[in-house]
């Protein structure tokens, strides 16, 4: 019995590992190995605050391999910590992959994870309790790289300083992530992104006070839509097909139940509906996002894949579509176009507010997306792009702004129906 249980657990992690392995194989097919190794070195050396597209920095193959290796490392870490797979295993792994295409690399994530590990030791708890926060918290890894570019300091001072800052970030991240969740009450799925935005604001402010500043940048690959349509649609259709083969007709019933959920933080479709339905939801949302980006004339690259991670822990078509349409509406009425790089990131990652649409309906969802597009395109100035989950910070602000107002209106209507004097 025990051996069978271990085998099933190992099989689940093995299936999840197929996603990064798929992209590693694609990377080796696209770019020769003689170019991949120098490309990986350029990725490691390059400052990587938003927006830095590793497809352009190191080449498509090197970017896929960087992301694939980091994702396999994340999956392996969770496995060897003895944890069972749940929705956050999938979410954290997919986010690790997606953001390792434009910000996280083989060198700049480890100090933050070490800080989280030291926090667990300080509180005498197992690392498994904080590992997902640690993986999400690597959104602040550009700070580590940026400190290495303080040319006024000698290298032997920059290296330990970057490690110490990374450890400090990782150490304060778990309590802060827990605390800020109470502010938005789970209506923004990228909770650690909100906490990371606060940390980035503090760290970057301190750096600026010492005269260390960063210039805005835009490194963004274009012209790869035909290739990525094939690669991404092939993956997402395979996920949907595999889900139907493994789950049969029950997948549709389970998917119907997924569509009825609000998606508020704490949702876990893997636990409630099983692997096939969760995989089907991920594939369908990924396909929808890919075709949506292509339809608005945007560039397909790393962020397009990243949206599928939270489709195991809250997102589905019914609660992400209104948010995305709200961002598109913003593109028609504001001084930017939705197919530009930063608005395109807002289009995809505005879905952090999926629970708002799931709970309050599509009209409120459109309004949330419309507001988010403005906040996301302006709030990053306070930390100079050092938080890769910029939309998580923006989404937290929008949720904190909208949800209390909506609740107050609902309470007023409820009391009015009860003929209770206010």
Q: How confident is the model at residue 3 (pLDDT cuts 50, 70, 90)?
A: very low
Give SS3 for 52.
strand
Determine the average pLDDT of the residues in 373-393. 91
Share of the chain above pLDDT 90, in %: 80
The string of pLDDT tens digits covering residues 253-294 is: 999 999 999 999 889 999 999 999 999 999 999 999 999 999
Is residue 399 scored above 50 in pLDDT?
yes
Q: What average pLDDT does this structure show over 325-332?
A: 95
Q: Of 122-131, 190-199, 221-230, which gets the smallest average pLDDT?
A: 221-230
Confidence of residue 218 (pLDDT cuts 50, 70, 90): confident
Nearest by Cα to 345 from 380, 383, 384: 380
pLDDT of residue 289: 95
Q: What is the pLDDT of residues 10-66, one digit of tens each?
A: 999 999 999 999 999 999 999 999 999 999 999 999 888 888 999 999 999 999 999
Q: What does the H/E/C string look like for 291-337?
A: HHHHHCCCCCCHHHHHCCHHHHCCCCHHHHHHHHHHHHHHHHHCCCC
- 5: pLDDT strictly greater than 50: no
> Mean pLDDT throughout 151-164?
90
**pLDDT interval class at 306 (50, 70, 90):** confident
**What's the rounded mean pLDDT across residues 245-249?**
91
CA 92 to chain centre: 8
* Mean model confidence pLDDT for the chain: 92
What number is the average pLDDT over the span 370-380? 94
Are 92 and 312 in contact, with CB atoms under 8 Å apart?
A: no
Please compute, for residue 188, the number of CA atoms within 13 A of its CA located in the half-sphere on the CB side.
32
Mean pLDDT to the nearest integer, 223-233: 92
Query: Where residue 421 falls among pLDDT bands split at 50, 70, 90?
Result: very low
Listed residue (141, 173, 164, 9) closest to 81, CA to CA: 9
pLDDT at 415: 76
The residue to which tokens 């990525």 are assigned: 228
Given a cut of 90, whether residue 416 has pLDDT beyond it is no
Asked if pLDDT for residue 108 goes beyond 90, the answer is: yes
Per-state percent for the chain, helix, strand, coil, to nearest 5? 75, 0, 25
Q: Can you give the pTM of this predicted structure?
A: 0.92
Closest CA to 321 of 294, 356, 274: 356
């Amino acid at each position: 019995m025990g051996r069978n249980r271990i085998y099933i657990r190992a099989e689940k992690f093995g299936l999840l590992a197929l996603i990064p392995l798929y992209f590693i194989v694609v990377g080796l097919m696209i770019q020769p190995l003689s170019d991949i190794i120098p490309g990986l070195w350029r990725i490691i050396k390059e400052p990587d605050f938003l927006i830095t597209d590793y497809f352009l920095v190191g080449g498509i193959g090197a970017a896929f391999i960087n992301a694939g290796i980091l994702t396999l490392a994340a999956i392996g870490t969770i496995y060897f910590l003895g944890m069972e797979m749940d929705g956050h295993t999938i979410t954290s792994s997919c986010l690790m992959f997606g953001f390792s295409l434009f910000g996280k690399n083989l060198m700049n994530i480890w100090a933050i994870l070490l800080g989280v590990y030291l926090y667990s030791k300080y509180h005498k708890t197992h690392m498994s309790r904080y590992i997902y926060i640690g993986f999400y918290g690597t959104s602040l890894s550009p700070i580590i790289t940026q400190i290495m570019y303080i040319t006024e300091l000698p290298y032997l001072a920059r290296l330990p300083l970057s490690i110490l800052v990374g450890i400090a970030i990782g150490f304060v991240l778990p309590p802060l992530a827990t605390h800020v969740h109470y502010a938005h009450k789970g209506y923004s799925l990228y909770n650690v992104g909100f906490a990371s935005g606060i940390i980035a604001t503090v760290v970057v402010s301190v750096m600026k006070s010492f005269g260390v500043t960063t210039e805005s940048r835009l490194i963004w690959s274009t012209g790869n839509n035909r290739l990525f349509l094939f690669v991404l649609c092939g993956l997402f259709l395979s996920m949907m097909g595999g889900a139907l083969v493994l789950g049969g007709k029950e997948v549709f019933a389970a998917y119907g139940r997924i569509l009825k959920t609000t998606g508020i933080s704490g949702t876990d479709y893997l636990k409630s509906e099983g692997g096939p339905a969760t995989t089907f939801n991920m594939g369908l949302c990924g396909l929808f996002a890919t075709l949506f980006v292509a339809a608005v004339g945007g560039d397909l690259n790393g962020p397009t894949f990243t949206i599928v991670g939270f489709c195991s822990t809250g997102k589905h078509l019914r609660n992400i579509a209104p948010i995305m349409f709200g961002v598109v509406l913003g593109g028609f009425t504001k001084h930017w176009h939705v197919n530009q790089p930063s608005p395109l990131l807002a289009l995809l990652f505005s879905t952090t507010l999926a629970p708002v649409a799931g709970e309050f309906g599509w009209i409120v969802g459109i309004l949330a997306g419309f507001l988010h597009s403005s906040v996301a395109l302006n709030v990053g100035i306070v930390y100079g792009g050092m938080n890769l989950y910029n939309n998580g910070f923006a989404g937290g602000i929008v949720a904190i702004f909208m949800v209390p107002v909506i609740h107050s209106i609902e309470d007023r209507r409820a009391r009015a129906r009860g003929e209770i004097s206010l």
